[in-house]
Structure 1
Amino acid sequence: FKDQIEKIVNPFHKLQVINGNCEVVAKTDELREFGKRFGYFMGGALRGELVDILKEPLEKSGIIYYSHNMTNIKQDKDGVTISFDNEKQQKTVRVDMVIGADGIRSTVVKQIFPQTAPPIYIKKNIFYGMIDNIDEQTSINPI
């Protein structure tokens, strides 16, 4: 995966935190020093590109279950048994590991950790973007 991931990850060089009035409340240029100091950078990738890379070998092996309604999950020392109930069939599968990529109101989380509180909206948003040739394009209020 490493070579594929390196092609899509963009290093973070700067960070700004802006409040609701568009005022900068925190910023740092130190992120660019990570590579020099630690041998790696903090970085980010577009989620869709990362998901495509990670799921490709799993799809080829046929072990991803899309559009399945999980009704039960049981783990023992040898693995995990998952029960599905779909429109026309019920199915049970035995696996080594479960990755519940089923969203913020995860059925998998509810089955494994039933005491988990439901998510709440905290009125915070994170916006990010990538700009090609940032030095050429940021003449007014540069980052």
Structure 2
Amino acid sequence: MTTESRAPEPVGAYPYTRRAGNLLFLSGVGPRQRGQPAIPGVELDADGGVVRYDFESQCRAVFQNVRYILEEAGAEWDDLVDVTVFLTNMKDDFPTYNRLYAEHFATAQPCRTTLEINCLPTPIAIELKCIAVLKS
């Protein structure tokens, strides 16, 4: 476990994790990177509007951030038991998401719910909400 967080800073007044018994709840995790103003795979115009986005880059960054948060809380990827996925463009992005999900969850098989939503609090196309079971 590292002493310095590798996960991005939360965008509000909330913790990334909360333990209840042997369950670890993760707040919504997006693709932002710690200390970086730019979001992986997102190109913005001068007014902050999304010009284009690379969904695969965002998806990979989200999975990495979830790993960082789990590790910092003493958990592992295979401890995930439930994943709720929020996509802003189900029609275009779901096939890529499903392919990458299958790669990253080849051994871990958490339950999964995928929802399309209108927008997220920052200009991102994906966010994960997870629950893990801690071994100790």
- Between structure 1 and structure 2, the one with the greater Rg is 1
* Greater relative contact order (Cα < 8 A, sep 6+): 2
What TM-score bracket applies, with the shorter chain setting the length?
under 0.3
Question: TM-score, normalized by length of structure 1?
Answer: 0.25
Question: TM-score, normalized by length of structure 2?
Answer: 0.26
